[in-house]
Every structure is written in structure tokens, then in C-alpha cells.
Structure 1
Amino acid sequence: MRTRATFKVGEWVKLPEGGTAEVLGEEQGFVKVRLDGESVGLYPPERLSAARQED
């Protein structure tokens, strides 16, 4: 059985290509993330994983 990953707005996630990004919300089944500055990306939730933001 496959479950869908869910992420909260403001949560940090690990990107498939490396690095982390902040979750901005969901759009048409994809997770919307802030990549750098004003750049935004959409990723399928199964390609992302939770990441802890270090202080």
C-alpha cells in the first residue's frame, strides 16, 4: 500500500537534487517549495523528505 507524503507550510524538505527548501503549500497535487529568494519549484511529494533546519 502506498501512502502520500504530507508536508506542512513552513517545513523544510530535502530536494531530490540535493539541498533543502521551505514548503510554501500544495498545487495540483505537487508540493510547492521556495528554492532560493523568489524562485519556486513544484515537486511530487514522494520525491521529497523531511529535513531539519539547523540554527
Structure 2
Amino acid sequence: MLVGADGGVDEVTVDGSSGSDALDAAAVSACYKWSFNPAKNGMDQAISCYIYVPITFRLR
């Protein structure tokens, strides 16, 4: 996932499918609703940054 300099999610990529298109789409949709404190460079300026966030589904 790419977190923008404003802390919003700019890009989401599914690295390993759950095997269900509906679950993959739900995970991507949820990620776009998240926000983060942006990464900062050596001059204390907010920058875009890629992060890896595993999402696990458990069906009961």
C-alpha cells in the first residue's frame, strides 16, 4: 500500500489473493478508508511511503 504525504492511502495492491474476489475487494476497499501519520524524510518533511499490511480473514 502506498501512503501519501498527507497520510491518505494512494494505492493498494493485493500481494497474495485470499482465493475469493469478494474478500480481496473488501480488503482493498477497507484499506482506502484508513489514514496514517505520514513518513518523514531527514529534513522532517512528510513523504509518500510504501508499507506492507497483511490482512487475515477468519470465517466462522
Q: What TM-score, normalized by structure 2, do the two folds share?
A: 0.22
Higher normalized helix content (fraction of residues): 2
Q: What TM-score, normalized by structure 1, do the two folds share?
A: 0.23
Relative contact order, CA 8 A, sep 6+: which one is greater?
Answer: 2
Higher normalized strand content (fraction of residues): 1
